[in-house]
């Protein structure tokens, strides 16, 4: 386990807020104040920029270096149910999650730089991508080729190979 005490900029709340945040009642749109309150006590982290091929075991191997993990929830394409480049890691303690932000955010996993941020707490259904095609929104609009994230972005890929064209 890593040492360290006190607050550091790496564990402070980022400016990002989940625009789809639901209150604890799961049906009402949550307030910014409620989301901020939950973020300040959370033991759950959002992990982004993962390869579509990164396994739960690889995540576990890296993230347990900061403490005991309660659970890992893999992000899935909502239609194909295949990994789509993000996950949630829930620790047992806030201190372990803080160490993860300090020491793992910005490190390399499966040849990619992973990003970690506080999450207000996992709610069933959030494991699915929010993009129109089922994956993450960012992968629909990406214009570069990224083999670890399925090749070209979905919109560009459709222009390169129109639907129904299978080559010979």
Residue pair 49/146 in contact (Cβ under 8 Å)? The answer is no
Distances (CA, A) of 133 to 120, 129, 153: 25, 9, 11
Please state the φ and ψ torsions of residue 119, each to the nearest 5 degrees. Answer: -130, 145
Which is higher by pLDDT, 161 or 122? Answer: 122
- pLDDT tens for 16-72 read 655 555 555 544 456 778 888 889 999 999 999 999 999 999 999 999 999 999 999
Element housing 90 (H / E)? strand 83-91
Complete edge-to-edge strand list for the sheet that includes strand 69-76 = 69-76, 83-91, 44-48, 115-119
Residue in the block written with tokens 């929830």: 73
Confidence at residue 145, expressed as pLDDT on a 0 to 100 scale: 82
Confidence at residue 12, expressed as pLDDT on a 0 to 100 scale: 76
| pLDDT at 166 exceeding the cut of 60 | no
Q: Which residues share a beta bridge with 112?
A: 109
- pLDDT tens for 77-130 read 999 999 999 999 999 999 999 999 999 999 999 999 999 999 998 989 889 886
Which is higher by pLDDT, 8 or 129? Answer: 129
């Amino acid at each position: 386990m890593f040492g360290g005490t006190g607050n550091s900029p790496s564990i402070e709340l980022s400016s990002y807020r989940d625009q789809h945040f639901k209150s604890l009642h799961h049906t009402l749109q949550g307030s910014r104040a409620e989301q901020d309150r939950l973020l300040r006590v959370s033991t759950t982290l959002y992990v982004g920029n993962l390869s579509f091929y990164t396994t739960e075991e690889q995540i576990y191997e890296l993230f347990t270096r900061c403490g005991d993990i309660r659970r890992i929830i893999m992000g899935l394409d909502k239609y194909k149910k295949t990994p789509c480049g993000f996950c949630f890691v829930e620790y047992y303690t806030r201190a372990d999650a803080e160490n993860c932000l300090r020491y793992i955010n910005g490190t390399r996993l499966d040849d990619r730089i992973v990003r970690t941020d506080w999450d207000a707490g996992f709610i069933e259904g959030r494991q699915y991508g929010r993009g129109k095609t089922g994956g993450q929104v960012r992968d629909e609009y990406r214009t570069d080729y990224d083999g670890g994230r399925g090749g070209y972005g979905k919109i560009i890929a459709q222009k390169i190979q129109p639907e129904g064209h299978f080559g010979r």
